[in-house]
Amino acid sequence: MINFYGAQFTGLSLHQVGNKHRNESIILSESTQDLDDELSQLLREYFFKPFREKEENFFNFTHEIDLEFNEIYTLCASLFDQPESLHLTSKKIATHLYDKSNHPHIKSGELYVAHFENIVVDNEKVDAIGIFKSELKHDFLEFENDANSINLILRKGISLSRLDKGCLIFNAQKEEGFKVLSVDNNRYDTKYWNQEFLSIDPLTDERFFTKNYLKFCKDFAKDVVLPAEDKQQEVLFMNKAVNHFAKNDRFEESQFLNEVMDNPELIPEFKHYKVERGPKYSIEDVSDFGIANKAVSEVRKKFKNEIHLDTNMHIKLDFINSESASQFIEKGWDEERQMYYYLLYFNQETKK
């Protein structure tokens, strides 16, 4: 979990990076930016907002030979050791980005390199480096007043409501390539920002495997359990899957399947589906890992545990007490009406 509440700028440098493929220029500022309280607050919100709204999927810097050959990793490691070198380091980061801006679709834009203190990551206060890029320009109006009239002036600028590209590098887990968050809202070249410029890969820790395995289970429930069984069994499978993760500290696949899979005939289907779809979630070779409880809670909130009916009604099932769905709900077929039905058993209505 990340908390930006106490985060403070210690410095900000701004440069302009063109498209090298189109022979556009790079403009490097001579000094850092001066920020008053109002501007600092606006920029904090502009930079941090997408990371508060986006699911926390951490990355690490990587390199096929050695981390020391990853240029952004090396520059960030040096900057964490010497925060006073922010502006010099930012020029090197801008130059590296310019060298990677060698595709005709890449847009020119402003590059911001910032150093922050007092960001809380997993209950630990750390400093961070922010690298952000604004690309899309928007029209806006300015007004000039004189004694007799008001004049309209059309300007172009960036919107502070939407960051185009950005990453936050936290001073944590240096040996593994730091903990990194990244966002790219302009997906015209998906390799440009994460792969070619930053060279980052998903952080494959307990959190990563917990979230991805449950997302994989959700796809299996939709693509296999639902067609083979029905909507009730799809929801029940996910209820049991989530509860299994919630009550265990470690995941073991054979134990999981024996506990969760009501229909043993679907176990081979599950294993086949994992071979086919597992690479999408980087779990194809994973069958044993520690469970991150916080990740289970985050994923649970996003799963729909409802059965929607074409008669404008829906049944909401309880993830916590999933056994109620199998004990007190029956599905049947009414010959006279030629319709399916659900029969619900209960002792009394409750107020919530």
Does residue 120 share a domain with residue 233? Answer: no
Does residue 164 share a domain with residue 35? Answer: yes
Determine the structural domain holding residue 175 and report its residue range: 2-202
Tokens of 249: 């500290």
Write down the H helix ranges in the chain: 37-53, 71-81, 86-100, 190-191, 206-220, 226-228, 231-247, 253-260, 266-281, 293-302, 323-327
Residue with tokens 């700028």: 9
- pLDDT attached to residue 316: 74
* Domain annotation covers residue 101: yes
* Domain annotation covers residue 349: no
C-alpha separations of 185 from 143, 206, 264, 266 in Å: 31, 27, 43, 39
CA–CA distance, 112 with 90 (Å, rounded to integer): 8
* Domain annotation covers residue 19: yes
Does residue 153 share a domain with residue 23? Answer: yes
Domain end: 187, 202, 217, which one?
202
Residue with tokens 């709204």: 53
Which of 313, 291, 312, 308 is closest to 300 using CA atoms? 291
Does residue 177 share a domain with residue 46? Answer: yes
Neighbours of 90 (CB within 10 A): 27
Does residue 259 share a domain with residue 233? Answer: yes
Does residue 15 share a domain with residue 96? Answer: yes
Domain end: 153, 171, 202, which one?
202
Does residue 213 share a domain with residue 160? Answer: no
Does residue 329 share a domain with residue 222? Answer: yes
Tokens of 265: 């005939």
Query: How many CA atoms does the CB half-sphere of 213 hold within 13 Å?
Result: 30
3-state secondary structure of 270: helix
Does residue 13 share a domain with residue 127? Answer: yes
Does residue 147 share a domain with residue 216? Answer: no
For the CA atoms of the chain, what is the radius of gyration? 26
CA–CA distance, 6 with 1 (Å, rounded to integer): 14
Partnered with residue 141 across adjacent β-strands are 154
* Domain annotation covers residue 65: yes
| pLDDT tens digits in sequence order for the chain, 352 residues long | 788 998 999 999 999 999 998 999 999 999 999 989 999 999 999 999 999 877 778 999 999 899 999 999 999 999 999 999 999 999 999 999 999 998 888 899 999 999 999 999 988 999 999 999 999 888 888 888 887 888 888 888 888 888 999 999 999 999 999 999 999 987 777 688 999 999 999 888 898 999 999 999 999 998 998 888 777 788 888 888 988 998 899 999 999 999 988 888 889 999 999 999 888 888 988 899 999 888 888 777 766 667 777 888 777 766 555 566 667 777 788 888 888 887 878 787 777 6
Q: What phi, psi does 184 have (nearest 5°)? A: -140, 105
* Domain annotation covers residue 352: no
Q: How many domains does the chain have?
A: 2
Which of 136, 124, 131, 127 is closest to 199 using CA atoms? 131
* Domain annotation covers residue 239: yes
**Side chain identity, residue 160:** L
Does residue 163 share a domain with residue 297? Answer: no
CA–CA distance, 3 with 172 (Å, rounded to integer): 15
* Domain annotation covers residue 220: yes
C-alpha separations of 238 from 151, 242, 263, 319 in Å: 61, 6, 14, 8
CA–CA distance, 72 with 63 (Å, rounded to integer): 11
Domain end: 202, 228, 254, which one?
202
* Domain annotation covers residue 137: yes
Does residue 222 share a domain with residue 123? Answer: no
Cβ atoms of 115 and 9 within 8 Å: the answer is yes
